[in-house]
């Protein structure tokens, strides 16, 4: 709830911004940040950090290269368990997440389902166009939902599912994305971030591991710090996000034109799309789980 005012002041002063997600609680504010970013020429990044894991970048590269054929379904979930205790809502770091005056109309959906939404679109390269959502309070009574379950559709009428919850006991970093196509599939799991499962239909499954060589593309190798067998995790993913953002800022200030597609960090437009996604989920839930079209975000 404090993102918009702070980001607006910095943009108006010509200062580049890196902002957490969800970008804002209101789409009108998100749209204004898109406008201010365009008019100021500043760099605006959004912290969908999961897209900065090397093996997520590898998955995106492989899907774009057609290695699973034509995408035909997309499934993503973010399963956590830290809200299982009935008294968790009394903790100071939790209260604001369940306060509509601060978290807006959602809690779980805006906080972690937005990660799932961005990851699904980032890996598949396809925008989510429609959804039907049901929000639930599965644990102790709360002012906002702790679980959301969705059916989704992407460009080309491609179906999918999205589930996010904080009450899946035994799951801590349970973010998983699975993209299947006409020739195979690809799967990534946050709790095993160094590995990517890849299958060509009819062949043995392949497990790609983060590191240099062995099928890892040169674009992905830029984000690799350690050799295979020496684990990297979310700290390194944050570092990758910061590095890409810093490169964009330096290039802007030094008047350097970077090669097209060289940087893939999430931008203010991705943040605005996340807010649109949340709005559509709320609208669908209030309509009893009806299908709702996600309005596109106008960039220019």
> What pLDDT, in 10s, does the model give residues 217-261?
999 999 999 988 899 999 999 999 999 999 999 999 999 999 998
Note the pLDDT of residue 300.
Answer: 66
Note the pLDDT of residue 213.
Answer: 82
Of 288, 284, 282, give the one whose Cα is nearest residue 108: 282
Alpha-carbon distance of 282 to 149, in angstroms, equals: 12
Alpha-carbon distance of 268 to 257, in angstroms, equals: 20
273 forms beta bridges with: none
pLDDT digits (tens, 9 = 90+) for 200-227: 999 999 999 999 887 899 999 999 999 8
* The two three-digit tokens of residue 104, written as one number: 């807006």
Note the pLDDT of residue 25.
Answer: 96
CA dihedral 118, 120, 122, 125 (to 10 degrees): -130
Rounded to 5°, the CA angle 111-275-25 comes to 70
pTM: 0.96
Alpha-carbon distance of 153 to 73, in angstroms, equals: 9
Of 158, 60, 49, 56, give the one whose Cα is nearest residue 112: 49
> Is 55 in contact with 210 (CB distance < 8 Å)?
yes
């Amino acid at each position: 709830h404090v993102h918009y005012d702070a980001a607006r002041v910095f943009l108006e002063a010509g200062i580049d911004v890196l902002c957490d997600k969800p970008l804002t609680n209101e789409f009108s504010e998100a749209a204004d940040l898109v406008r201010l970013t365009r008019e100021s020429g500043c760099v605006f990044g959004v912290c969908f950090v999961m897209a900065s894991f090397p093996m997520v970048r590898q998955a995106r590269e492989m899907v774009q290269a057609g290695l699973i054929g034509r995408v035909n379904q997309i499934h993503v979930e973010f399963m956590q368990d830290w809200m299982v205790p009935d008294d968790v809502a009394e903790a100071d770091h939790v209260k604001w997440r369940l306060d509509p005056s601060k978290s807006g109309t959602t809690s779980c959906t805006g906080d972690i389902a937005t990660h799932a939404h961005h990851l699904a679109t980032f890996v598949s390269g396809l925008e989510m166009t429609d959804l039907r959502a049901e929000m639930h309070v599965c644990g102790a009574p709360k002012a906002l939902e702790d679980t959301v379950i969705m059916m989704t559709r992407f460009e080309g009428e491609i179906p999918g599912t999205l589930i996010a919850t904080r009450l899946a006991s035994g799951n801590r970093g349970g973010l998983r994305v699975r993209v299947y196509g006409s020739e195979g599939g690809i799967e990534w799991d946050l709790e095993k971030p160094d590995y990517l499962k890849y299958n060509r239909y009819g062949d043995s499954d392949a497990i790609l591991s983060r590191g240099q060589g062995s099928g890892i593309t040169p674009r992905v190798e830029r984000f690799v710090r350690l050799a295979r067998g020496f684990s990297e995790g979310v700290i390194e993913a944050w570092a990758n996000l910061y590095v890409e953002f810093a490169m964009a800022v330096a290039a802007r200030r030094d008047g350097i034109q970077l090669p097209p597609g060289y940087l893939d960090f999430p931008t203010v437009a991705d943040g605005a799309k996340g807010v649109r996604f949340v709005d559509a989920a709320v609208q669908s839930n209030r309509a009893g789980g009806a299908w709702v079209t996600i309005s596109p975000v106008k960039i220019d």
